[in-house]
Amino acid sequence: MKQTIIKTPLGSTKIIGDENGIAAITVLDDEVKPSDEIPTELTEAVEQLNAYFKGNLEQFNFKTNLKGTDFQKRVWKALLEIPYGKTTSYLELSKTLGDVKAIRAVAAANGKNPLWIVVPCHRVIGSDGSLTGYAGGLWRKKWLLEHETPPIQQSLF
């Protein structure tokens, strides 16, 4: 597996992958010097993440290589169905997956998401609209949601 570190508005971000696809994207708690070189296998992911943060990309399409249980993969696939700029609740996600009682398991799978931002776990909120747990920190979740839903400029006339 190859890796690179890039700088994003939310901190240093590590990208890990190989010719089979991107396996992990994580935001780091500490600032780390960005990598001098980006391995060829990671270039597309870096370019798309940079475009996302500039507001020029809403959906990622680079090759991924997700590792997890079948249930986790079902949850992550469901997360990919949440449109850019929209949110859903853990309860709604559980219903989508066919078992309203699986809410805790869905939340746990959400928390194990290996592809920060790309598999948009930040778009899942509490049923009451509250920002709930987020591995990268609630301030990052808030930033991402605001980034995806900028305020609408009201017409003056």
| Greatest distance between any 2 Cα atoms in the chain | 56
Reading the block at residue 35, the tokens are 């990598």
Whether the predicted pLDDT of 13 surpasses 70: yes
Q: Residue 127: its pLDDT value, please? A: 86
Mean pLDDT over 131-145 rounds to: 89
Q: Any idea which residues carry the catalytic annotation?
A: 121
Q: Residue 39: its pLDDT value, please? A: 97
**Alpha-carbon span 10 to 7, nearest angstrom:** 8
Kindly report, residue by residue over 54-91, the tens digit of the pLDDT.
999 999 999 999 999 999 999 999 999 999 999 999 99
Q: Residue 132: its pLDDT value, please? A: 85
Burial (CB count <10 Å: 0-12, 13-18, 19+), residue 135: middle
Q: How far is CA 133 from CA 3, 42, 110, 123, in A?
A: 27, 29, 10, 11
Confidence of residue 152 (pLDDT cuts 50, 70, 90): low
Q: What is the pTM of this model?
A: 0.90
| Out of 27-31, 91-95, 133-137, least confident range | 133-137
Kindly report, residue by residue over 82-118, the tens digit of the pLDDT.
999 999 999 999 999 999 898 899 999 999 999 999 9
Q: What percent of the chain has pLDDT over 90?
A: 80
Mean of per-residue pLDDT scores for the chain: 92
